[in-house]
């Protein structure tokens, strides 16, 4: 393996240590065992079973039709291909609308699906759920900025946090999520400077997707970074299948680009 030699299963402690050591964390989405094995072999730190499967696997226009049953099925598949990477699963739309529903969903994703952490979207409205899950021993990752499950309320897939009021709300939500017990945070489509400020304020790892280079790590949708996406490709993504690479080489190139801070570059960043 050219990017990194991993001899054990990565843990939340390892990821927290990477933040403290300023070592960029690498993450990619996966939805099946075969790609999970390839991502794992490339030395990527974390695999996210994203509800983006609604878009890239099911052909949906949004992530909203994805159910907890879909997420458990794909998390099970991915977990069978993982030996070293830390495995996170998305909690889909309306699967954490209250504490009991959130607990049931997390139980399915972890006990049945094999996830080691669950991710949910939003700030203040989900703090009670985050705190409750934390009390039950469930590791939680927050998700702020562009939250795809709220796409209709947001008016589309737009950069968030450019206006002062929205910026302050994201900062406050990030702090509140950490206080409630979240152990990781994903920031999507926010200005680079805002993401950097949040990353410096928080003790937990902050992973960016369209959030610039000042965060603690990066995540991309697998199909985007392999150049498989048909139609619109997000500005913040990059095709790593260029220069005659095969899939394993592209995955290693992504991991190396994140660790060397060559990715994201200026053209992938929102001001």
Do 236 and 264 contact (CB within 8 A), yes or no?
A: yes
Indicate whether 36 belongs to any domain.
yes
Domain-located, residue 2: no
Domain membership flag for residue 1: no
Domain contains 74: yes
Per-residue pLDDT tens over the stretch 43-90: 999 999 999 999 999 999 999 999 999 999 999 999 999 999 999 999
Q: Please, what's the largest Cα pairwise distance for the chain?
A: 50
Q: Cα separation of 10 and 205, whole Å?
A: 14
Query: What range does the domain containing 125 cover?
Result: 12-268
Predicted confidence (pLDDT) per residue in 223-267, tens digit:
999 999 988 889 999 999 998 899 999 999 999 999 999 999 999
Coil, strand or helix: which one is 144?
strand
6 falls within a domain: no
**Would you say residue 151 has pLDDT above 60?**
yes
- Is the pLDDT at 2 greater than 50, yes or no? no
pLDDT at position 6 is: 56
Cβ–Cβ under 8 Å, residues 209 and 236: yes
- Dihedral pair phi/psi, residue 123, rounded to 5°: -115, -110
| Structural domain contains residue 7 | no
CA–CA gap between residue 56 and residue 28 (Å, rounded)? 14
Residue 46 CA to residue 85 CA, distance in Å, equals 5
Q: What is the CATH number of the domain that holds 29?
A: 3.20.20.60
Q: Look at residue 5 and tell me if it is in a domain.
A: no
Q: First and final CA of the chain: distance in angstroms?
A: 35
How many folded domains does the chain comprise?
1
Distance in angstroms (rounded) separating the CA atoms of residues 105 and 94: 10
pLDDT reported for residue 4 = 53
Active site residues: 188
Residue indicated by tokens 């697998």: 222
166 found inside a domain: yes
CA 149, CA 85: separation in Å to the nearest integer? 26
Q: Is the dihedral of CA 261, 263, 264, 267 positive or negative?
A: positive
């Amino acid at each position: 393996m050219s990017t990194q030699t991993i001899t054990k299963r990565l843990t939340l402690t390892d990821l927290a240590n990477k933040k403290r050591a300023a070592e960029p964390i690498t993450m990619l989405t996966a939805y099946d065992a075969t790609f999970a094995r390839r991502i794992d072999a490339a030395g990527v730190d974390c695999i996210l079973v994203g509800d983006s499967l609604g878009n890239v696997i099911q052909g949906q226009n949004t992530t909203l039709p994805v159910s907890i049953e879909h997420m458990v099925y794909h998390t099970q598949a991915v977990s069978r291909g993982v030996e070293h990477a830390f495995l996170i699963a998305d909690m889909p739309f309306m699967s954490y609308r209250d504490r009991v529903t959130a607990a049931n969903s997390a139980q399915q994703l972890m006990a049945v699906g094999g996830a080691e952490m669950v991710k949910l979207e939003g700030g203040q409205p989900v703090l009670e759920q985050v705190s409750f899950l934390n009390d039950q021993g469930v590791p939680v990752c927050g998700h702020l900025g562009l939250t795809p499950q709220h796409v209709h309320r947001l008016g589309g897939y737009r950069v968030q946090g450019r206006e002062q009021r929205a910026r302050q709300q994201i900062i406050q939500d990030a702090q509140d999520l950490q206080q409630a017990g979240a152990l990781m945070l994903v920031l999507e489509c926010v200005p680079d400077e805002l993401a950097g400020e949040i990353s410096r304020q928080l003790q937990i790892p902050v992973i960016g997707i369209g959030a610039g280079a000042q965060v603690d790590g990066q995540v991309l949708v697998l199909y985007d970074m392999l150049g498989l996406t048909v139609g619109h490709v997000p500005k913040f993504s990059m095709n790593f299948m260029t220069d005659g690479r095969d899939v394993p080489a592209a995955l290693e190139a992504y991991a190396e680009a994140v660790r060397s801070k060559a990715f994201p570059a200026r053209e992938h960043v929102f001001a």
